[in-house]
Amino acid sequence: MSNDVVATYRHKNGTQVVEVVYDYLYCELEDANPLKREEWLSFPAAEHRNYVIGTEQLDPEAMTVRWAWAKLQAESHPDRFRMLPVYIYEHSQIAFSLGRDYPFNCPWDAGCIGAILLERGTFEGEHGLKWENARQICQGVLDEYTAYMNGWCFAYVRYELATCDRGHEHREVLDSCGGYVGLEFEQLGILFDAGITASDDHTRLHAAWEEVA
């Protein structure tokens, strides 16, 4: 974890505070990369000047050969193989998508970087994944991969507050947890796990809590 605070929530009676911070240590773990966790996913990508992208990085010649082979397999046996082109948008940060909606259609900052290749038996495997949902599932992985590649890994720390005789505020860590990847804290469940949002609505803070920064 780090001292780089992203958001701060304080109990209205002044006894506790929750801070959301960047979790740099988690970002360095191999398990933080969703492409490493999903063994069914193959994502060969073109070599990039600034990033290591995909499950393997190919030079232009190798990429052309792999693309032609994958396209032939997908067109010849659509019930067994699938090829999903992946587009990258790069403008200070990066993002990945299976679609070409804005900004992935930008002629200057976007382009096709590779493709996700799926084999039905491996995809469905032991995980209960459905072939008809492949595109939606893969886009979800790419959304998490976007967050991971941009370093959007977070943790929360919950402190007990106390004031000493000299009027200084002191903190004692009550609870902490990391490994949350993404920008929508409510959807990630980080605020709920910290104990400051309602169980039926992760966007609604408990009445006793307020965001202060």
pLDDT of the residue at 121: 94
Interval 171-195 mean pLDDT: 90
Beta bridge partners of 21: 5, 155
List, in order, residues 6 or more apart from 84 with CB less than 8 Å away.
Answer: 98, 115, 116, 117, 118, 134, 135, 138
Residue at 174 is within a domain: yes
pLDDT in tens, 19-76: 999 999 898 887 889 999 898 999 999 999 999 999 999 999 999 999 999 999 999 9
DSSP single-letter state for residue 154: E
pLDDT bucket at 198, cuts 50 / 70 / 90: confident
One domain, residues 61 and 9: no
State the CB neighbour count (10 A cutoff) for residue 200. 6
Residue at 79 is within a domain: yes
Q: How many residues are recorded in the chain?
A: 213
pLDDT bucket at 188, cuts 50 / 70 / 90: confident
One domain, residues 45 and 24: no
Residue 200, pLDDT > 90, answer no
Give the domain range for residue 47.
Answer: 41-128
| SS3 state at 12 | coil
Residue 1, pLDDT > 70, answer no
One domain, residues 123 and 98: yes
One domain, residues 120 and 46: yes
pLDDT in tens, 142-177: 999 999 999 999 999 999 998 888 888 889 999 999
pTM above 0.75, yes or no: yes
Residue at 199 is within a domain: yes
pLDDT of the residue at 2: 60
Number of domains in the chain: 2
Sheet containing 153-163: which strands, arranged edge to edge? 169-181, 153-163, 16-22, 5-11, 209-211
Residue at 88 is within a domain: yes
